[in-house]
Structure formats: structure tokens, C-alpha cells
Amino acid sequence: MSKPDRVLVGISGGIAAYKLGWVISQLSQAGVEVRAILTDAAQAFISPLTVATLSRHPAYTDDHFWQADQGRPLHISLGEWAEVFLIAPLTAQTLAKLAYGLADNLLTNTVLASTCPVLVAPAMNTDMWQQPVVQRNWQMLLQDQRFHGVGPGQGRLACDRLGAGRMAEPDDLISYLHSLLHSGGKRDLEGRCLLISAGSTQEYLDPVRFIGNPSTGKMGVALALAAHHRGARVVLVHGPMEQGLVDRLAEIETHPVVSAAAMHQAMVEHLARANWIVMAAAVADVKPATLSATKLAKGAIPPNLALEPVADILLDLARRRQPQQKLIGFAAQTGEIVAPALEKLHRKGLDAIVANPVDQLETGFGRDTNQAVLICGDQQITISPCTKLEMAHRIFDYLVQKY
């Protein structure tokens, strides 16, 4: 069995500290080993006992600063132990200390005594966040490649203001941490632009009825997040998705569409910018031949609905692309998956195709997990069941060494 992943969590003193309980709990439940450091101010918002209970390990505070861990100073051994360091919420004070390399407590000393990637998630009042000095510190910190930042979102703050300053959502921190554990913090997609499609398309017969499919967009969103976490510029064209999934995309350029025709138009519009095009959307293959502007009465729906094919977007992109642009398709299959996917790869002139079964219980449409065979040239790489984020990384691991 492989060794569990190790995440060190540093909590500084802001009201969002209470959300770290959820983050730590989710990481522990996913089998990640967690150690945590709380600053003095953090303990006013979340107790060391809460953190210790959820992480299944004593939580560290400045009281432990000179506690030797098997004879070695704690900040050194914790720093060496960590594979990824999360600092959230990051207060203006701790941000300033990190930007200037100051070390006056256990948390900041451990940052300097470690070399792993650090994910930082600021949270503060809007005026504090928008202070030029805070913005300068933030930009300065992010110039250091070691630091990965998830900026604060807009929302209602604890001070009752509506504005920027709300800590990134716990789920966003968790997926970013999983990405960093996978990549080791490498930004190996930096300098590349990825145009990705996600979700289903809906082909309306009238304002309330459509032809569609059960794709939720989770795989395309996982691809977009994984690419973003590895430094790519991402343009995501997506069909209708649940709001919770759309909310995950705050840091990504998105273009929501409904129909295949609109997805086609958006993909063509953004094609020139892309180095890689990943068509993960489950495009409806047909649409009703007519679209009624008003809701049809039940009796007015023809028993034999006339259908028309929609354009094959991928085929069209293959004709339009420049030779250096790489085109990657998906093939959602039932039964045999490799042969039909290979046929699509050749017919559509693709560089790679991801064949994934949609008739398995645990994986596929709507699930958080997936499995696939990635086909590229004469190579076939089996990706066993894993989270969609992990699968996205496995696909990029292969593509990045190939192209």
C-alpha cells in the first residue's frame, strides 16, 4: 500500500477559521494525514481540541514552539514532514509576514523551514483586502513560485459588508490540495491555453421540453480545475450545470451555453487561443426539427417527432485547427469501449481520445469518480477507477510528456 498523503494546515486568526474544521475532516476522511498549527489569534475562532479531534492528531500552537519532536525542533520536523502546506484563512498580518519572510511564531517559522508547495487562501474585510499595501504583499507573495493562491471571493462578510474578502470555499481548497499533492506543485501547463468543453447540451422543442443527456459536467470541470492548478490558462465552454458546480469555477474563464449550436459557436470563437482542445462535453446528436416559441399542449406534440442532426463540433474543430493545436476527444461508451473510441479517434482526426464506460455502477455520468482508457497513437493507458480530478491529472500527466 502506498503511504498516505501528508498535508500541514496552518490556521491564522479570522472568522473563516471555523471552516477549516470541515476541510480537515474531509481530508482525514479521504485518508490524508493532517497536522495543524494554530496561531494565537486563530484559537479565538477554532479550538486546538476541535482541530486535534478532526485531524486525529494533537494540534500545535506557539506553546509547543520549543517542544522537540524526537529531539528535533518542531518547526523543522513539521516542515520536513509536509508534502503540501495550506494556510487558511490567511490574515493581512500573516500575509505581510510571509511576503517579507518574517518568522515570529510556529506557523511562520515552519513556512521558512519547509520547501513544499504552499496554498494560501486570504480572508478579510473588503477594505482591508483592497488596501494597496495588502495587494502589494499579495502580488509579492505570489511571485514566489512556491506559493499558490486562491483569492477571496465576493459575498456577505462577517462584518455584514457585501464584497470581496470571503475565503475561497472549503471544497475549492480541498481540490486544490489534491492537485498539489498530485503535481508536487509543478506548473507544468504554464504557458498553455486549454479550451475545454463540459456538460451536456439541451436541444429544445418548446420552452419547457428538450432532448438532452445525463452528463453533469463534473468531468469537464475537473479537467478545467486540474489544468488551472497546473498553471494553464483555461477557457471552459459548458452546458447547463448545477449552480454548485458553476461556483467552483470562480477563477476560470467560462462561457455558458445551452444548445449544441451555441457550444459549436463558442468553441470556434475561442479556438485560435488554444494550444489543446479537450472536448469532454456530451453533445446531443440530434435536435427537434422545429422549435415552438410557446409551450406545446400535450396533444400538440407530434407522436413521431421530426429530428435533425446537430453539427459534429469536434469534427469541425479538427478541420479548422492549426497543425500544432492538439485535439482530445472523449468517448462515453457502453459495452466495448476501446474499438468504438479508436474508430472515433481516426474518423475525427484526433490526437487522443479518452474512452470511458458509462454503464458501470460507480463511475461515469454524475458520479465523482471515473475510469477510462486513454488512447493516443498506438498507446493505450488504462486509468482505473479514481476521482474525476485524479483522472484529469492522469490525462494531463500523459499529454504533457507527449506534447
User: Binding residues for ligand CTP, per CB under 6 A?
Assistant: 260, 279, 281, 283, 285, 310, 312-314, 329-332, 344
Integer CA distances (angstroms), 234 to 12, 227, 251, 381, 393, in order: 31, 7, 9, 25, 15
Q: How far apart are CA 341 and CA 317, in angstroms?
A: 18
282: Cβ contacts below 8 Å, ≥ 6 apart: 199, 200, 201, 213, 215, 330, 332, 365
Residue at 332: amino acid letter: A
**Minimum separation from the CB atom of position 294 to ligand CTP (A):** 28
**Minimum separation from the CB atom of position 386 to ligand CTP (A):** 20
Q: Which string of DSSP letters, residue by residue, matches 164-205?
A: EEEPPPHHHHHHHHHHHHHHTT--TTTT-EEEEEESB--EEE
Residues with active-site annotation: 159
Angle at 257 between CA 303 and CA 385, to 5 degrees: 90
**Minimum separation from the CB atom of position 74 to ligand CTP (A):** 51
Residue located via cell numbers 459549436: 264
**Minimum separation from the CB atom of position 403 to ligand CTP (A):** 18
Q: How far apart are CA 105 and CA 95, in angstroms?
A: 13
**Minimum separation from the CB atom of position 323 to ligand CTP (A):** 20
Residue 216: HSE in the Cβ half-sphere, 13 Å Cα cutoff: 18
Beta-strand relationship, 84-90 and 118-122? parallel
Q: How far apart are CA 216 and CA 202, in angstroms?
A: 12
